[in-house]
Amino acid sequence: MKKFKFLSVAAALLAASVMVSCTSSDDPVVKPVITGMNTGEIVYKVTVKSNVETKFTFNGVTKTGTTAEFDVKASDYKAALEAKAEPVDAAYSLGEKKAKVAFSTEKQTALVEFNFVKPSTETKTQAEMIAGATVGNSAANQKAAGVDVAIAVPEGTEITGNTTDPFSITAYKLPASLESTEIKKNETKTVDIYTFDCKPDGAKFDKDIVIKVNLGKEAAGLVVAVDDVDYTVGNDGFVSIKASHFSDLILAMKAAATDFSNGSQLIYEKNIDVVAGKNEFTYTKKTGIETSATGIILQYLTTLYGDLLAKDEEGKGSFESSAAGKASLKVEQEYSDYTFKSGSVNFKARVWAEVKATVTPSDGEAHSGGSAQ
């Protein structure tokens, strides 16, 4: 009788093929031969969301709802694709309707969250504004956009350009661009968060107007920027932006990764019976970002990485064996831990990444000479 045993083999999911045969020695060691990755074709997935009923289009496919999922095969993917969104109700006229989506072997899923709003109903006349009044976004817009914003015009300001009444300001969130981003240590990343739609578009002022934005107390100390000018958010969560004209003003958050490290976590371990041929298994993995951050910081992170907040998700794997036996199966998931700094604020995030499996076969049953069965 000849005895054989399997040796360890590690492969990324789906796992590589394992080939086994016996030799003529008295106690042969039979090594698995990795014949190449058996992953099948990678399928990239994008989830698109909206706060209202929306017609989504991605890669030539259209779906309607508040959430939709689309697939694109790696072989069909040539460059960054564009997710498009059109609210079913035309009253939701403000909000970006396009966002780029880019994938890579490290980033096979993506999320786009569109935010559409109706124009703010709070208005002021030009006469009221130059008399020292302020105009803010309506309560409905504050709720829809998640931000409170108001414009103040210094008394006696001369207004030129477009002076058509009424004056108003409407806020909306920008969708994530989702383009693959390389994070380098101490390199500042600027991420667009909000657009403020100021009316009448094209109005010009001989004195700086002030746009006061309430970003919440969790934003205190952060650095934000409008038109390449940096501002620090006050302890009360407010920041005052200066402008000399009315247009769509974009508020961005700025931060740099001061430290990051990579690691892995064992997420599944089990002794299994191996059959000759294809062996399949399931496990629970994490997708997305783990962080305690909220508000504008959370928007920064999810826009930067284009992923959902971390959640558990079922994963599936398989490997091929040319013989039956017993083995232990371990599944590990890689992650990257980041520490960011913006102004006086430090915040952390764990970004979950690739899953890998290790199959370690045990001693098999006794076999006669020839190929293992």
Expressed in percent and rounded to 5, the helix, strand and coil fractions of the chain are 10, 55, 35
**One-character DSSP codes across 277-318:** EEEEEEEEEEESEE----HHHHHHHHHHH--PBPEEEEEEEE
Copy the structure tokens of residue 288: 């997305």
The CATH 2.60.220 portion of the chain extends over 126-257
| Spatial contact of 186 and 267, defined as CB atoms under 8 Å apart | no
Residues 6+ apart with CB under 8 A from 127: none
**How big is the chain by its Cα radius of gyration, in Å?**
28
On whether the CB atoms of residues 302 and 308 are closer than 8 A, the answer is: yes
Q: To 10 degrees, the CA torsion angle through 227, 231, 233, 234?
A: -140
Question: In order along the chain (373 residues), what is the average pLDDT of each group of 10 residues?
Answer: 35 35 32 38 87 94 96 82 95 93 76 92 92 93 94 91 92 77 88 95 93 96 96 97 93 96 93 85 88 92 80 83 84 93 96 85 42 23
Burial tier of 19 (Cβ tally within 10 Å: 0-12, 13-18, 19+):
middle
The fold of the 126-257 domain, in CATH, is: Chondroitinase Ac; Chain A, domain 3 (2.60.220)
What confidence score (pLDDT) does residue 74 get? 83
With vertex at residue 129, the alpha carbon angle to CA 128 and CA 132, rounded to the nearest 5 degrees, is: 95
pLDDT digits (tens, 9 = 90+) for 238-286: 999 999 999 899 999 999 999 999 999 999 999 988 888 888 888 898 8
Cα–Cα dist 329/26, whole Å: 29
State the Cα–Cα distance between residues 216 and 297, nearest whole angstrom: 11
Within 10 A of 4 (CB to CB), how many other CB atoms are there? Answer: 22
DSSP letter, residue 5:
B
Contact call for residues 215 and 238 (beta carbons, < 8 A)? yes
> pLDDT digits over 199-232, tens only?
999 999 999 999 999 999 999 999 999 999 999 9
